[in-house]
A and B are shown apart, each in its own frame.
Chain A
């Protein structure tokens, strides 16, 4: 006797339930998603650790000792040095701009000028646990931090290159302007659960953010026009609302800061810039620096109330 198929009425009931779920409000759907993601977090963390050890073991068997270790170390130092150089260039550029009277609509205050700022930036380290189960296109990355760690929606997510002085330090939380200036922007937090969140990459179709052009001159990094960076699902990002001249090779940093985060972070470089006949705005394409970043851990930028202001008040 073969097992029978399920009765047709049960199939109809389940299909009706599926159609009903499509009509569920987005808030309830988001809540269900957060619960499921939080539930999978322990298993994902265990599997990620095991997978990492397995990959290292496999690589250790097949790679030559000494030479490749030295090359890898030099490569890591190079990446850290580039990140450090970009940090200093961005800080110097922002200082120069402020001393020249500033540009754009927002007033920028650098940390340490006059009274202590009310908010201070903090970086929270987050492990990348996996990816959504999208069959055909890249799903959002799943991160192992959520509300409990103070992560909020639309928080910027940066690459996890530690400054040279911090390499080897196992810290979960870093503070201060210096730690985020010039860092590569990976994306933003899309949805936040209690213990997990999802990452919207800068190349995803629904990513947008304020961005500024910058050019390296003999006087250092000089910031220029501000526009809106957006993703379209391809490997490149677009930049719109720019009417000033643009060159291929110009760099793109975050813009639109409100004084809370006065120093810019890095998006990438302009690879295509064209002003079509009769158009006011340039057609600009950016190669994101995040494309070359391996996502094992990332840093989520959050703001916290300055303890010094609480004590003095």
Chain B
């Protein structure tokens, strides 16, 4: 994907996360559109490009939250690197696989936020309502991701890695061997 397209996607995702996602909240748990889109992007952009964009998104998420700068940058970078490692083991073709990965990402990043907010101490002081909201947010985002992935598969086919499959063989080579 070109840099311009990813930049436009970045702007759109963060506008939707701040302006629309709170309106879609269920029981105080809003869908994490940023993490959903980050997962989609990390599975498409491999290597350094994907990781750098994850870091940029993390920094933007830090700027739009009340926590310290750098927290989401670390979380998004680790998440993108893990996604790239998972993708190396095999393609992510189905909607439910994508949904599970997105839900796991929301739970992981959310747990990191909770632990850092408590300063690593007094974890027992965190109310059950906060954990409940995290789980609801994760499930909500996972269902949304599954639905969007299903829709994408319906129209365009399964999610594929850009460079997967056997290398292309030119017709000239085939003609020579035949």
Chain A interface (Cβ within 8 Å of chain B)?
1-7, 10-11, 14-15, 17-22, 24, 29, 32-33, 35-37, 40, 43-44, 47-48, 51, 129-140, 142
B130–A136 touching, CB < 8 Å: yes
Question: Does B64 lie within 8 Å of A36, measured CB to CB?
Answer: yes
Q: Which residues of B contact A5 (CB under 8 A)?
A: 46-47, 81, 84-85, 87-88
Q: Which of B52-60, B95-103, B144-152, B169-177 is near enough to bind chain A? A: B52-60
**Can you list 28 A-B contacts (CB < 8 A)?**
A2-B161, A2-B163, A3-B47, A3-B84, A3-B88, A6-B81, A14-B55, A14-B74, A18-B58, A21-B68, A21-B73, A35-B63, A40-B14, A40-B64, A44-B19, A129-B18, A130-B20, A132-B64, A133-B64, A133-B65, A134-B66, A134-B113, A135-B106, A135-B109, A136-B130, A137-B133, A139-B66, A142-B18
Check A139–B65 contact: CB distance below 8 A.
yes
Q: Kindly state the separation between the CA atoms of A4 and B113 in the bound complex, as whole angstroms.
A: 29
- C-alpha spacing A260/B59, complex, angstroms: 41
Q: Are B88 and A4 in contact (CB under 8 A)?
A: yes
Closest approach, in angstroms, between the C-beta of A142 and any C-beta of chain B? 6
CA A7 to CA B61, docked complex, whole Å: 24
Asked, given contacts A133-B17, A135-B109, A135-B113, whether A6 binds B51 with beta carbons under 8 Å apart, the answer is: yes
Interface size for B (C-beta < 8 A) is: 60
Of the candidates A7, A15, A133, A142, the one whose C-beta lies within 8 Å of that of B34 is A133
Q: Are B162 and A135 in contact (CB under 8 A)?
A: no
Q: How far is the CA of A43 from the CA of B80 in the complex (A)?
A: 26
Instruction: Kindly provide the distance from the CB of A203 to the nearest chain B CB, expressed in whole angstroms.
Output: 13
When A and B form their complex, which 3 residue pairs have the shortest distance between CB atoms, in order from nearest?
Answer: A3-B46, A21-B70, A130-B18
Q: Is the CB of B60 within 8 A of A47?
A: no
CA distance A14 to B74 in the complex (A): 7
**B18 and A40 contact, CB distance less than 8 A:** yes
Give the residue of B23, B48, B88, B134 whose beta carbon is less than 8 angstroms from that of A2: B88
A32 near B15: Cβ-Cβ < 8 Å: no
Contacts of A32 in B (CB 8 A): 63, 69
Given A37-B64, A136-B134, are A20 and B28 also a contact pair (CB < 8 Å)? no
Contact of B70 among A22, A48, A139 (CB under 8 A): A22
Residues of chain B touching chain A, judged by Cβ–Cβ distance below 8 Å, are: 11-12, 14-23, 28, 30, 32, 34, 46-48, 50-52, 55, 58-66, 68-71, 73-74, 77-78, 80-81, 84-85, 87-88, 106, 109-110, 113-114, 130, 133-134, 137, 161-164, 167
A97 to B61, CA, bound (A): 49
Q: Is the CB of A132 within 8 A of B66?
A: yes
CB–CB A18/B162 < 8 A: no
**Distance of A132 Cα from B48 Cα, bound (Å):** 28
* Contact call B46/A136, Cβ cutoff below 8 A: no
Interchain CB contact under 8 A, A7 and B22: no
Asked if residues B22 and A130 are in contact (CB atoms below 8 Å), the reply is: yes
Give every chain A residue within 8 A of B70 (Cβ-Cβ): 17-22, 24
**B20, A135: Cβ atoms closer than 8 Å:** no
Find the B residue at minimum CB distance from A1.
B163
CA distance A37 to B63 in the complex (A): 8
A265 to chain B, nearest CB (A): 25
Contact between B64 and A43, CB atoms less than 8 A apart: no
Complex Cα spacing A17 to B69, Å: 10
Report B105 CB to chain A, min CB distance, Å.
Answer: 11
CA distance A130 to B60 in the complex (A): 15
Known pairs A10-B51, A131-B18, A134-B66; list 11 more (Cβ under 8 Å): A1-B163, A1-B167, A11-B77, A22-B68, A24-B70, A33-B63, A37-B64, A47-B15, A133-B21, A133-B34, A135-B30
Known A3-B87, A44-B15, A47-B16; contact A29-B68, beta-carbon cutoff 8 A: yes
Q: Which of A17, A43, A132 contacts B12 (CB 8 A)?
A: A43
Q: Which residue of A lies closest to B32 (CB)?
A: A135
In the complex formed, the residue of B with least CB distance to A39 is B11
Evaluate contact between A135 and B137: CB separation under 8 angstroms.
yes
B11 touches A43 (CB 8 A): yes
Across-interface contacts of A2 in B (CB, < 8 A): 87-88, 161, 163-164
Does A22 lie within 8 Å of B71, measured CB to CB?
A: yes
Residue with the highest number of chain B CB atoms closer than 10 Å, among A36, A48, A133: A133
Nearest Cβ in chain A — how far from B44, in angstroms?
9
